[in-house]
Structure formats: C-alpha cells, structure tokens
C-alpha cells in the first residue's frame, strides 16, 4: 500500500474514533437535566428574521449545481497540480497577460484557473441574487443566538435525532454557520490564496511578497482543499440521511414536496457531472486550451 493511502486510512480511522467519542459524550450530556433545559430553550433553529423569503428559487438551484460542477473540476485539477506529475501538455498565452511576458504553465494549471474564473463568476451571480432577493437572511446569522442553537443542533446530530427543521423555510443554526462559513470565509480564502499563487500576482514587488510569502500561502491553499472536502462529505451525507427525497426537491427542483422530481433531476445532474469528468480527456483539454493560447 502506498504511503498516501496508508495516511488516508489512518486519518479516516482517527475521524471515526473521534466521532464515536463525541457521540458518547453527547449522549451523556443529553441525559443531564441542565442540558435538557438548555435544549428546550435553544431547540437548534433560530426564528427567521422578519422579511425572510419562504422557499428556494430556481436560480439558487442552478447556481448550486454549477458550483458543484466547477468545484469538482477545481478539486480534480488542484490534486493533479499537487501530485507534481508532468502534465500531458503546456499552455502559453498568445499575448502579455497581467502585464507579464507570456510564460508557459501546465495544462492542469490552465484548466484550474479557467474553471476558477467560471466558479468566481457563478459565485458573484449567486451573491448578487442572494442580496437582492432577501435570501441572504437565510444564510447570514443575524443574532448571537445562532451559537447556542448550533450547539444544541450539534448535540442532536451526535445523538442521532435530527433537529426539527424545514429547509424550505429556515435552516437549523449549524447549517447556517456551515453555509455562511463556506460562502463568506472559505471561498474568499480560496480566491485570495489562489491569486497569490497565480500569474496575476506581481512577483516583482519584494516588499509585498515579504509580507505575503508564497510557501505559507500554498499551505493555506491546501488547507482550503481539505476544508472543502470535509464540508462536502458531511454536507452531502446529511442531505442524503436526513430526508433525501425532500432535500433533493428543495435544492434541485425548487419545491418542498415528496415527489421523485428532485431525485430524478439530481440523478441527471450526477450523469452530467460524470459526462463532463470523462469528456475532459487530455486531448479535449488541449483542444480547449488552444483556443486561447499555444499548446505543446
Ligand atoms: C479563484 C479561486 C482559485 C484560484 C485563483 C486558484 C489558483 C491556483 C493556482 C494559480 C494554482 C497553481 C499553483 C502552481 O502553479 O503551483 C493552484 C493550485 C492548487 N489549487 Fe487552486 N485556486 C483557486 C481555488 C481553489 C479551490 C477552491 C481549491 C480546492 C477546493 C483549490 C485547490 C488547489 C490545490 C490543491 C492546488 C495545488 C497546490 C500545491 O501545489 O500544493 N484551488 N490554485
Ligand atoms: C451532490 C452534492 C450536493 C448535494 C446533493 C447538495 C444538496 C443541498 C441541499 C439539499 C441543500 C438545502 C439544504 C437542506 O435542504 O438541508 C443545500 C444547500 C447548500 N449547499 Fe449543497 N449540496 C451538494 C454540494 C454542495 C457543495 C459542493 C457545496 C459547496 C462547497 C454546497 C454548498 C451549499 C450551500 C452554501 C447551501 C446553502 C445555500 C443557500 O440557501 O443559499 N453544496 N445543498
């Protein structure tokens, strides 16, 4: 077994043991009267702020799906850059880029950065619509109560009684914190650390680069990957284990019913993801890259 597989297995084992320990502690805590009083006061879901819209619109379904598609490609190409294997080709821009003479980059870096642009554009559309429609009220905490509610929701998840919530109306506070963190902290961190590693960054600014050195930023960019992966594993597991049919209707078919529509659209979405994954062979990547530069 290769050492990276062994490390991954050990890591997974440690996580399972920690989860079991956390669950046992949560069961013990929940048996205490003071914790029961606390949970009666903070059931895990804060009252929605006045004016919070009800329901998930189609644009949110679309931007959420595109986010999955782009992140899939960003993670794939990020891992391929990390592996330091020689890419199958190199791309050189046709003209000066960011005021710098054309320099070649691996085709995996080219694809990573091309998809980054699409990912950021999609994120910008999401944010503009989020703030113009009032949907932001669902994912931005608006009172300190979000913390005790989130603690209560965590205790409920760890003791296998899902918090009573209705994603059509309001997320539970642990969800609010997780969605807020991914959108407003993790994504910006990915963008700023990524920009530092990219050609867009001025390398001829010694003062600036002493303050923002490359090595720690590369480490942060890798931590971003780990945090995205951790979020995705937990998020998708909970979506599927806490009423998959309804959750999939909410996020893939803009309705909160119990029909199979959301599940069907979800399965079709997975097929699209797989199709894009397999269509992007080195040959196709080279052809796409040659639209904007020279590929060798
Ligand atoms: C707008 C957002 C982003 C930008 C501008 C960006 C930019 C970059 C650049 C320029 C590199 C290549 C560094 C090199 O040439 O060695 C890189 C590598 C990488 N990126 Fe990104 N990135 C972004 C988002 C992400 C996201 C969201 C993830 C993970 C979920 C990610 C994961 C990685 C990984 C794992 C590497 C390899 C790092 C290494 O060599 O150790 N990137 N990124
Ligand atoms: C197959 C993958 C995915 C599925 C099935 C899925 C499903 C869902 C569902 C059902 C909701 C609504 C919450 C609920 O009903 O409890 C949701 C919300 C959300 N998801 Fe995902 N998700 C996936 C991937 C991702 C990824 C990769 C990210 C980002 C890294 C993400 C970020 C979010 C965010 C930020 C929200 C809240 C959006 C808002 O209301 O503005 N999801 N997701």
> Pocket residues for ligand 2 (CB within 6 Å)?
60, 64, 67-68, 71, 135, 138-139, 167, 179, 182-183, 228, 231-232, 235-236, 239, 247, 250-251
What separation in Å is there between the alpha carbon of 79 and the centre of ligand 1?
Answer: 9
CA angle 117, 250, 266 (to 5 degrees): 65
| Edge-to-edge strand list for the sheet holding 105-106 | 105-106, 90-93, 293-295
What separation in Å is there between the alpha carbon of 190 and the centre of ligand 1?
Answer: 8
- What pLDDT, on the 0 to 100 scale, is given for residue 97? 84
Domains of the chain (ranges, CATH numbers): 51-142+160-295 (1.20.950)
- What pLDDT, on the 0 to 100 scale, is given for residue 95? 86
- What pLDDT, on the 0 to 100 scale, is given for residue 100? 83
C-alpha–C-alpha distance, residues 225 and 102, integer Å: 28
- What pLDDT, on the 0 to 100 scale, is given for residue 164? 77
Q: Which two tokens stand for residue 130?
A: 């989020």
Which ligand is closest to the CA of 105, given by its number? 1
- CB contact set of 35 (below 8 Å; sequence gap of 6+): 29, 155
Query: How do 90-93 and 293-295 pair as beta strands?
Result: antiparallel
Mean pLDDT in consecutive groups of 10 residues from the start of the chain, 296 residues: 87 94 97 97 93 96 98 98 95 88 93 98 98 97 95 95 86 97 98 94 89 96 97 95 94 96 98 98 97 94
- What pLDDT, on the 0 to 100 scale, is given for residue 3? 85
- What pLDDT, on the 0 to 100 scale, is given for residue 153? 96
């Amino acid at each position: 077994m290769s050492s990276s597989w062994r490390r991954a297995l050990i890591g997974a084992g440690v996580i399972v043991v920690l989860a079991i320990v956390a669950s046992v502690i949560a069961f013990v805590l929940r048996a205490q009267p003071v914790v029961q009083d606390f949970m009666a006061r903070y059931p895990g879901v804060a009252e929605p702020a006045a004016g919070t819209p009800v329901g998930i619109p189609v644009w949110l379904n679309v931007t959420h799906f595109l986010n999955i598609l782009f992140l899939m490609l960003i993670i794939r190409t990020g891992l391929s850059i990390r592996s330091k294997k020689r890419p199958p080709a190199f791309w050189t821009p046709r003209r000066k880029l960011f005021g710098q003479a054309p320099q070649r980059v691996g085709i995996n870096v080219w694809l990573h950065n091309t998809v980054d642009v699409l990912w950021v554009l999609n994120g910008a559309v999401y944010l503009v619509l989020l703030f113009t429609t009032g949907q932001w009220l669902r994912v931005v905490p608006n009172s300190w109560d979000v913390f005790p509610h989130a603690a209560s929701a965590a205790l409920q998840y760890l003791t296998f009684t899902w918090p009573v919530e209705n994603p059509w109306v309001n997320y539970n506070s642990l969800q609010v914190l997780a969605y807020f963190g991914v959108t407003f902290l993790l994504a910006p961190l990915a963008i700023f650390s990524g920009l530092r590693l990219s050609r867009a960054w001025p390398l001829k600014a010694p003062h600036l680069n002493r303050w923002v050195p490359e090595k720690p930023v590369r480490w942060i960019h890798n931590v971003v990957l780990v945090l995205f992966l951790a979020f995705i594993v937990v998020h998708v597991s909970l979506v599927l284990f806490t009423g998959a049919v309804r959750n999939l209707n909410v996020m893939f078919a803009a309705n909160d019913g119990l029909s199979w529509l959301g599940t069907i659209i979800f399965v079709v979405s997975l097929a699209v993801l797989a199709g894009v994954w397999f269509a992007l062979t080195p040959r196709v990547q080279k052809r796409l890259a040659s639209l904007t530069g020279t590929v060798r």
